[in-house]
Amino acid sequence: MLDRSKIGVLTYCCNICGAFCESKVNDLGRETPPCAQCGSTVRFRAMIHLLSQALFGRSIALPDFPIRKDIRGIGLSDWIGYAVPLAQKLNYTNTFYHQGPCLDISDIDSSLEGTLDFLIATDFFEHMVPPISVAFENSRKLLKPTGVFILTVPYGKDAETQEHFPELFQYKILEREGKRLLKNITRNGREQIFEHLKFHGGDGATLEMRLFSEPALLKELAQAGFREVKIYSEPDWVHGIYWTHDWSLPILASK
């Protein structure tokens, strides 16, 4: 007899922790954590999926990665759920902007140029101060000639990226009457006050600097010198990667 409770349910292996999971296909949202063991989202599993394909030519779960300390990579404020096991498999370091180990992608040390096999950034570049083109150019500079850049950012389908603070220079977050404001002094000395700020992770967390558009994002990567850029919309049913939308999908850019 047909078990109707299983209609539309996907059984898969989480490619981060290796646990077997069940989720309704329509519940596989970008930020939904259906893995009961590690809490991975589709976005996080997609990063490991693309990294595995780029490095090993096929999609394998992180617990099954070979130990390859000759493969060097850096994460930009990566999720700890895959950052820790990834460091056990590869020569990988998760870096941060405000704490060690530090890496400011807008101002990199020249000694790091051309040293990485891969760079990972998931929902990071929307928080970088403008001009964002510098961060993309530096991402390419960090890579070896065969290196890959794997990233996600929230993006829409508009023609242009919406820069929330295009003249950002000297700024700080203030609190007035229970509300957070951004005060900016432009390069020519003008004072600006911005209200209705958007923070990822809740009020007071990481400030959203922009909302990318898909065409502008692809143009930025091309202008930064990446020779091949691909948006990945294909599902990986084995590892529970399926997109219920056509925006903010993962990207792999090759040097």
Query: In this predicted model, what pLDDT tens digit does every residue of 187-233 receive, in sequence order?
Result: 999 999 999 999 987 666 689 999 999 999 999 999 999 999 999 99
Cα–Cα distance for residue pair 166/156, rounded to 1 Å? 18
Q: Hey, what domains does the chain have and what are their CATH numbers?
A: 6-159+208-254 (3.40.50.150), 165-199 (no CATH)
- Residue 9's pLDDT is 84
Q: Could you please report the per-residue DSSP string of 14-56?
A: -TTT--EEEEEGGG--TT----TTT---HHHHHHHHHHHHHHH
The amino acid that residue 104 corresponds to is D
Range 104-115 average pLDDT: 96
Residue 173 has pLDDT above 50, yes or no: yes
Range 35-50 average pLDDT: 95
- Residue 116's pLDDT is 98
Q: How confident is the model at residue 7 (pLDDT cuts 50, 70, 90)?
A: low
Range 33-51 average pLDDT: 93
Cα atoms in the 13 Å half-sphere on the side-chain side of 108: 20
Residue 156 has pLDDT above 70, yes or no: yes
* pTM metric for this prediction: 0.91
Among residues 232, 174, 173, 177, the alpha carbon closest in space to that of 208 is found at 173
Angle, CA 205 vertex, CA 166 and CA 213 arms, to 5°: 40
Q: How confident is the model at residue 1 (pLDDT cuts 50, 70, 90)?
A: very low
The amino acid that residue 12 corresponds to is Y
- Residue 2's pLDDT is 38
Chain-centroid distance, C-alpha 91: 19
- Residue 200's pLDDT is 85
Predicted confidence (pLDDT) per residue in 11-38, tens digit:
999 999 999 999 888 878 788 777 989 9
